Amino acid sequence: NKIEECNSKKSQSHGGSSGESGSNYLTMVQRTISKQIDMEKVIGKGRYGEVRLGKWRGEKVAVKIFHSTQEKSWMRETEVYKTVLMRHENILGFVAADIKGSGSWTQLLLVTDYHSNGSLFDYLQKNTVGLDRLLFMSLGIAKGVNHLHTEIFGVPGKACIAHRDLTSKNILVKQDMECCIADFGLAVKFDSTTNKFDVPLTDRIGTKRYMAPEILSKMANLNDIDAYKMADIYALGLVLWEMSRRCNFMGEKSLPYEIPFNDLVSSDPSYEEMQHIVCTMKIRPEIPEIWQKNEKMKMMTKIIQEMWHDNPTVRLTALRVKKTMHKLITKTEESLNISNCSEIE
Ligand code: ADP
Ligand code: MG
Ligand code: MG
């Protein structure tokens, strides 16, 4: 068994408590990890394989299993999780990457923290959220994406990362309702000191339904990291819309769950379908009238619309979304009413 990396808090603390020298102990844990995991039920299916619940040393973990033909994808996701300073409350916690078996039995494993609420998509099917929870969850998502997008200078520094596949299925809901960003299979890193991306760039990557107009129409400058960040924000606008529909504020009933553009495109839309709706017709999901009845929902609407704006350069940044969400949480409805929710600077 070859192990890629294991920098989890768990194994670090095991190393600490055993009294052994940290790195030796870590290697020991790493070499045995895939043998130590008991695989249980399937908890998710995606593009490259399945995700199973596993038990590792008495703790539940999620194990994403890639077919051996998907080695590149496994490698990419592992590399992104290994990014220095990647760890964050709103980013799925990485435990280990491992190779199990050999020859035609080879499985590539990516082990992460397990979250029983599953994806935001799953969660919104079964649950509605109050206004406070909506804002809290939205803030968490914005914090996670802001952390990804932010380059940190210094030693150690952190590269800027664009996700490129943000959807409600790639965001998970933790037990305490914090959300975390997952599925980094299509992410790119950019280092501004070398001015380089860490993978070769290809056009139109991601989930078509969530693709920004400029990506669909191939108008985006693919050599500009900011273009990818702005496309992330567009997708996030759609996600916040999905969440907002499930919000029951002030006695108003929530709306049934709906995937963006549900009524306008087929279940697995083509580029042409999406381009027609998003670029030519410039259609965005409908904003329910009742959202105008509440100052906070009104502000939420404004944020969403500025996130999925046709012109990528006027979209809010993740930092701005984060700050505005924070303001919405801390201010009362009355004080927002007085300031007439004028500022999304
Ligand atoms: P893919 O790259 O194939 O889309 P994902 O990493 O998005 O794979 O995982 C597929 C699905 O599995 C997710 O949409 C989610 O429902 C579920 N899942 C993934 N990781 C976890 C986890 N750590 N805890 C709980 N569910 C998970
Ligand atoms: Mg996914
Ligand atoms: Mg993926």
- Give the number of whichever ligand sits closest to the CA of residue 175: 1
Q: Atom 22 (ligand 1): residue with closest C-alpha?
A: 114
Ligand 1: list residues with CB < 6 Å. Answer: 43-44, 46-48, 51, 62, 64, 92, 112-115, 118-119, 122, 169-170, 172, 182-183, 185
The Cα 301–Cα 7 span in angstroms is: 39
Exposure string for 41-61, b = 16+ CB within 10 A, e = fewer: eebbeeebbebbbbebeeeeb
Q: Atom 3 (ligand 1): residue with closest C-alpha?
A: 46
The Cα 300–Cα 141 span in angstroms is: 14
pLDDT by position in tens, the chain (length 345): 334 434 344 433 333 233 333 344 434 445 567 888 999 999 999 877 899 999 998 999 999 999 888 889 999 999 999 999 999 999 999 999 998 887 777 889 999 999 999 999 999 999 999 999 999 999 999 999 999 999 999 988 999 999 999 999 999 999 999 999 999 999 999 999 899 999 999 889 999 999 999 999 999 999 999 999 999 999 999 999 999 999 999 888 999 999 999 999 999 999 999 999 999 999 999 999 999 999 999 999 999 999 999 999 999 999 999 999 999 999 887 887 766 545 554
**Ligand 1 pocket check: which of 61, 119, 175, 242 to mutate, most ligand atoms within 8 Å of Cβ?**
119
**Ligand 1 pocket check: which of 39, 51, 81, 109 to mutate, most ligand atoms within 8 Å of Cβ?**
51
The Cα 249–Cα 258 span in angstroms is: 18
**Cα torsion 270, 273, 274, 275: sign:** positive
The Cα 111–Cα 32 span in angstroms is: 13
- The answer to whether 60 is annotated as binding is no
Residues paired with residue 211 on neighbouring β-strands, in sequence order:
none
Closest ligand 1 atom number to CA of residue 122: 16
DSSP letter at 293 equals G
Q: Are 61 and 43 in contact (CB under 8 A)?
A: no
Enter the tokens of residue 265.
Answer: 């495109």
Residues annotated as catalytic are 165
Residues in the chain: 345
